[in-house]
Structure 1
Amino acid sequence: MRLTRHADRRRIQRSLPIEVVSTIHAYGTERHAKGALSLTLDGRAIALAAEHDRRLSAELERYRGAYIIVASGDRVVTAARRTRRFRR
């Protein structure tokens, strides 16, 4: 996983630790988004990442709804927090 400069700036602006971005990249729920891949930290991803670790689960709950956009070449283009429901 490589972050672009834009993704790193957005991650810092939106208070997303690099560990959370890595967790989203490893366990996030996938959706296709305009030619790229959107990975979201939802309940399923939190359960997979925490694996019965309540402390880690509680920490990740703070970032529920955070997502990253991954382009070709496994590059993270941007990182954000979802403020509205996902439209299908």
Structure 2
Amino acid sequence: MQLSRHAKKRLSQRCLPKNVLRTIFEYGSERHSKGAISLTLDREAIELAADGDRRVVQKLEPFCGAFLIVSDGEKVITAARRTRRFRH
């Protein structure tokens, strides 16, 4: 997993730790979004990452809704926290 300059800047601005970034990259729910892939940290991803450990769940819950946009070459383009509901 590589980070673009934009993604590095956004991680710092949006207070997303690198361990949360890795968790989203490994366990995030995948959606296709305008030629890229959106990986979202949702309840299911948190449960998969925690594997029954309550402490891990408590650490990840504040970041529920955070997402990454990843290019085809597995390069993280940007990272953000969801502020609105999904439109289907």
- Give the alignment's TM-score, normalised by structure 1: 0.99
Where does structure 1 lack aligned partners over 5 or more consecutive residues? none
- Deviating runs (4+, > 4 A) in structure 1? none
Where does structure 2 lack aligned partners over 5 or more consecutive residues? none
Query: How large is the RMSD of aligned CA atoms in angstroms?
Result: 0.4
Per-residue deviation at 1:47? 0.2
Q: Distance in 2 between matches of 1:3 and 1:53?
A: 29
Q: Distance in 2 between matches of 1:62 and 1:84?
A: 15
Does residue 20 (structure 1) correspond to residue 20 (structure 2)? The answer is yes
**Sequence identity percentage:** 59
Provide the aligned length of Structure 1 versus Structure 2: 88
Q: How does 1:1-88 map to 2 (within 5 A)?
A: 1-88=1-88
- Give the alignment's TM-score, normalised by structure 2: 0.99
Alignment deviations for residues 5-26 of structure 1 (CA, whole Å, 9 cap, x no partner): 1001001100000110010000
